[in-house]
Amino acid sequence: MRKFIVMLGPPGAGKGTQAKRLSETLGIPHISTGDLLRAMKTLDTPLAQKVQVIMARGDLVDDETTVEIAQDRLLEKDCQEAGAILDGFPRNLVQAESLKQWLGEQKAKIDIALLVDLPRDVAVQRIVGRAKQEGRADDSQEVAAKRYEVYMAETAPLIPYYEAADLLKTVDGNRSMDAVTSDLLTAIQGL
């Protein structure tokens, strides 16, 4: 039976890493919005061309287009059969409501929202550390702090949203990768 899982947590919490691990273990496709947007740069479809124009202007991809990109991917065979682990989508309440409505039309629903929780100072340290490790200069202490603030303003409101729907499970992300994965799998298996 297909499952739709939303990954939540601040930048640096390891959502992408955990989503990949869960995908490999459970056989559910990992859908990363960032990966989808990067792939759009090389595709030649009407949707990809729309995204390329938006990105060429230096603008953020709007909610409506982001939802369209996600829906397009969720209609592919692997997601239709197994569901998806959504990483980076929904990013705000507008996207969450659109996803809920669209999944309902597809006779599906979000089964669980997994919050990989991490204190602000640890999240900022991880972002900066990862940037240094990858040789990127774009994630300074200031930029990392700004990314965290954007998360708190735009994405953190999804925490009470999914909590109110009785779908939220929180895992302490300030532990070893294996411990976090184990707790996430336990939460999913409890469905």
Helices (H), 29-140: 33-40, 46-56, 63-74, 77-82, 93-105, 120-133
Q: Is the pLDDT of residue 134 over 70?
A: yes
User: Structure tokens of 28?
Assistant: 């559910």
3-state secondary structure at position 121: helix
Task: Indicate if the pLDDT at residue 138 is higher than 70.
Answer: no
pTM of this prediction?
Answer: 0.93
Residues in the chain, overall count: 191
Classified as helix, coil or strand, 110 is: coil
Helix (H, G, I), strand (E, B) or coil at 4: strand
| pLDDT at residue 141, rounded to an integer | 86
Predicted pLDDT at 140 = 82
- pLDDT digits over 77-128, tens only? 999 999 999 999 999 999 999 999 999 999 999 999 999 999 999 999 998 9
Q: What local confidence, expressed as pLDDT, does residue 87 receive?
A: 97
Measured between alpha carbons, how far is residue 136 from residues 59, 121, 132 in Å? 21, 20, 6
Q: Using CA of residue 81, residue 52, residue 149, residue 127, what is the dihedral sign? A: positive
Per-residue pLDDT for 137 more than 70?
no
**Structural domains in the chain plus CATH codes:** 3-189 (3.40.50.300)
**pLDDT band at residue 130 under the 50/70/90 scheme:** confident
Catalytic residue annotation: 15, 91, 130, 136, 147
CA 178 to CA 184: how far, in whole Å?
10
What b/e string do you get for 14-45 counting C-beta neighbours within 10 Å, with b at 16 or more? bbbebbebbbeebebbbbbbeebbeebeeeee
Sequence-distant (6+) residues with CB within 8 A of 124 are 12, 141, 144, 145, 148
pLDDT of residue 139: 65
Q: Of 56 and 3, which is predicted with more confidence?
A: 3
- Write down the pLDDT at residue 60: 84
The answer to whether the CB of 87 falls within 8 A of the CB of 30 is yes
pLDDT band at 58 (very low <50, low <70, confident <90, very high): confident
Query: b vs e for 131-158, b when ≥16 Cβ sit within 10 Å of the residue's Cβ?
Result: beeeeeeebeeebbbebbeebeeebbeb
